[in-house]
Structure 1
């Protein structure tokens, strides 16, 4: 890890819904400025795919603007998982496939014969392209000539690192993100990678917390940054959220990284309760250790459940509980601990006020998070990162459901902060984190019991 921490770190943070370039003060850990753009998927070409040239244009302009206004001393990268690039020299052999595209389902039967057992990969079979290995297998069969041109297979953070520096690398947090490509207990590629003859296409594995290189000359000219600006290898976004907490909490501890996905990771936890049929798995942290993980699409589900967000008051909450108004999983099919179920309301939501819907949906997310903790394990404490850290009812509900301290992070950009810390330096303080009081409302126990009975029936 470098000895000198850059003062201003520009973090390229590509989420599934939005892409950002966030400038972090490397000394205080505070956000200085940010640029964002919707991460729209292109539907032209052979299949739905990431608009990498739109994203590159956004990244380049954002780096230039941030450097002009504040100065940029280093660049770090974090992206969503289940994504990678097939390179043919200096070009893409095929577009960067959108993991929500269902094309890889066509190869399910053949892929099942080659993919590693859950005991080896700790990676369940997920729908569509959520297993990066399934994407690659489908591409290799559907577009055999294009795939044969590939000179390198790189995870998504390292694709952007390559765009910036020209240096190729692999990295374990993205390789270990339910890809079927990695064996966490061995710290090596899975048996499938060798069986398909792909090992030679993956660049050497580099630590997330390492400088992969400095800017290409043309990138320096395009962005206005100095050519010697260091760039980190990059990291999977959920694991970036873990970085500020590693070594700071008594193990086991749970981090809930939220956004489009709600990812519950218990560092120091046991992987024995993981269930491949319930969307639980092991992530791999920045140090290469298996981290039991369970997840659901909390942000996506909340958007479906709540067309208009209105902060509920005590009367709204009491109305929801006393009238047994519940949302039952799952409103995004195929993912989460109840991915095989079809989501429904116990009462017609059109008869609810926006505040009442917000209250019921917040309780739903808390109950879903608690269900996930039965799989990933419950830590001695729970820390909420991202948008749900600002949902007071969710956090208070989870505090009641778990019986352990639940903290809402004061940092709204947990992934960006974590990625900035790949340069090293002193970890910032808690950033305004605060403990949440467990929810106290009449009838809550009966409400909770009824929800569990309904989802277990």
Structure 2
């Protein structure tokens, strides 16, 4: 069986999967994405990761015929490279930057239209990482030849060809204006244009696998290396390739990432949680971004699933609420960072905590959906859909939409693999989705506004109330 090897780089873990060209997952290997404290800053272990990748390709290639390799990754990873390899390590995006760098960055980064996202915490944006490197490691920055988003870094290591790609740069890098489909003005202001390689399509073949790597892995010297893609855009493409449109896709994990193909958003107006990404054709995709996985973990604590429909009913009857936000990020509700709390008679009941976390995640998802132009179809994907009640609660909260739940364990890997046949596909790729079971789901029409009122009460007094 011919397969595509998909290297998916997450913040905490990495996966290497063999996937059919039609998007069916065959086998997956996984490992932690190790981080070192320094020097020169907290960073990912690129050398160890490369060895794991090459060993994994040899392992998978011993059982499957790998005809192409494609990488996908989160949007906050990038590598400054020179002729020989990394000029500096890959920054852990949760690493803080020096105050003087942060102050300068906020002064020069530009409008929301230029950024496509809020200015988030830590070193979350590739442009901010570049400014830090330029200011604090000028020699390394001066000899660099390119700054590559994570998917394109791995494509470069495998093929030797450097490229930029629209979905990766549009994913809150602040190097690209997704609304206008061009490099941001910050790139010209800082004179960084020479570090941005030519733009290529996510599905473009950059070249064959380097001969020494073909020998190292046992793969064919003709194995194609694709340019690569941002993970959420890959997940969205999975459903585009399946023939869906008028669509919103909710990817769930560390982040809740919502993307839609609907238009009508004012990109000159910055609003909490809003972002703008791009699909593989470079078209702007309005979106929402909030750290739902971290919020879920804070509410669930040590509790484990499954969620209980009976407890959902008790939570609603007793008006027990999880109110945002528990993490260091305001998310959808400015002024609420680290102020999250549990309220109501079941707030201290350990048996209710996991179910309360699922209900809270569904409320966050519905809030994201309410803030974007309404799409006819909503697809839920990722870690949260392993809990059946999550999809049912989202459907109950947005009854006017058609909610579908992905039955695939790896939508990102499937979407990335489908790129290998992008130019030759003649029919819609098969989809595995289902409608949530609403049997017994209680009425949430009073609970949802009560939750919003509670969130509004938590916010700093100087901020506008939530409407």
Is 1:367 aligned to 2:363, yes or no? yes
In structure 1, the residue matched to 2:51 is 57
Asked whether the 8 Å contact 1:126–1:335 carries over to 2, the reply is no
Q: Which residue of 2 aligns with 1:88?
A: 82
Per the alignment, do residues 444 and 71 of structure 1 end up closer, same or farther by CA in structure 2, a change over 3 Å counting? same
Is there any run of 5+ residues in structure 1 with no aligned partner, and where?
1-5
May I ask how many residue pairs the two structures share in their alignment?
449
Q: Distance in 2 between matches of 1:273 and 1:157?
A: 26
- Decide which moves more: 243-252 or 203-212: 243-252
Partner of 2:394: 398
Q: Is this contact kept in 1: 2:242–2:429, CA < 8 A? A: no
Tell me if 1:23 matches 2:18.
yes
**Per the alignment, do residues 414 and 275 of structure 1 end up closer, same or farther by CA in structure 2, a change over 3 Å counting?**
farther
2:230 equivalent in structure 1: 236
1:326 correspondence with 2:321: yes
Rounded Cα–Cα distance in structure 2 between residues aligned with 1:361 and 1:423: 38
1:66-105 map, 5 Å = 66-103=60-97, 105=99
**1:436 maps onto 2:432 in alignment:** no
Measured in 2, the distance between the counterparts of 1:143 and 1:173 equals 28
1:301 matched to 2:295: yes
Among 168, 181, 184, the residue aligned to 1:190: 184
CA distance in 1, matches of 2:403, 2:442: 21
Q: In terms of mean alpha carbon deviation, does 197-206 or 367-376 score higher?
A: 367-376
Q: What's the counterpart of residue 448 of structure 1?
A: 448
TM-score under structure 1 normalisation?
A: 0.93
1:230-269 CA-partner distances (Å, limit 9, x unpaired)? 0110000000001122265564310011121110111123
C-alpha change, 1:70 and 1:441, in structure 2 (3 Å) is closer
Contact kept in structure 2, 1:165 and 1:216, CA below 8 Å: yes
Distance 1:11 1:278, change over 3 A: same
What residue in structure 2 maps to residue 415 of structure 1?
412
The 5 Å alignment of 1:50-199 reads 50-103=44-97, 105-199=99-193
Residue 353 (1) aligns with residue 350 (2) = yes
Distance in 2 (alpha carbons) for counterparts of 1:241 and 1:263: 10
Unaligned runs of at least 5 residues, structure 2? 458-467
Query: What is residue 463 of structure 2 aligned with on the other side?
Result: none
Q: Would the alpha carbon gap of residues 105 and 176 (structure 1) be closer, same or farther in structure 2, given more than 3 Å must change?
A: farther
Deviations 1:371-398 (A, max 9, x none): 1123333311100111122222211111
Residue 414 of structure 1 and its aligned partner are, at CA, apart by: 0.5
Do the aligned partners of 1:42 and 1:48 also contact (CA within 8 Å) in 2?
yes
Q: Which of 9, 12, 28 pairs up with 2:7?
A: 12
User: SS of 2:62's equivalent?
Assistant: helix
Q: Determine which of 332, 341, 350 is the counterpart of 1:344.
A: 341
Partner of 1:314: 309
The offset of 1:335, in angstroms, is 4.6
Question: What is the CA distance between 1:123 and its match in structure 2?
Answer: 2.7
Change (3 A) 1:44 1:313: same
Q: Is the 8 A contact 2:167 2:229 kept in 1?
A: yes
* 1:350 to 1:258, Cα distance in 2 relative to 1, 3 A: same
Aligned pair in 2 of structure 1 residues 406, 53: CA closer, same or farther (>3 Å)? same
Segment drifting more, 156-165 vs 312-321 = 312-321
Distance between the aligned counterparts of 1:269 and 1:390, measured in 2?
30
Superposed CA deviations along residues 417-441 of structure 1, whole A, max 9, x for unmatched, are 000011123543112x101144754
Structure 2: how far apart are the matches of 1:295 and 1:153? Answer: 24
Task: Give the Cα separation in 2 of the matches to 1:193 and 1:249.
Answer: 36
Kept in 1: contact 2:21–2:417 (CA 8 A): yes
Q: Is the aligned partner of 1:385 residue 2:386? A: no
**Once the two structures are superposed, what CA deviation does each residue of 1:141-187 show, in whole Å capped at 9, x if it has no partner?**
12222211211111110000011111100001111111211122432
User: Over the residues paired in the alignment, what is the CA RMSD in angstroms?
Assistant: 2.0
- Which of 35, 42, 53 lines up with 1:41 in the alignment? 35
Q: What's the counterpart of residue 206 of structure 1?
A: 200
Does the 8 A contact of 1:326 with 1:346 survive in 2? yes
1:98, CA displacement in angstroms?
0.9
Distance in 1 (CA, whole Å) between partners of 2:119 and 2:244 is 32
- Counterpart of 1:3 in structure 2 is none
Moved more, 300-309 or 435-444: 435-444
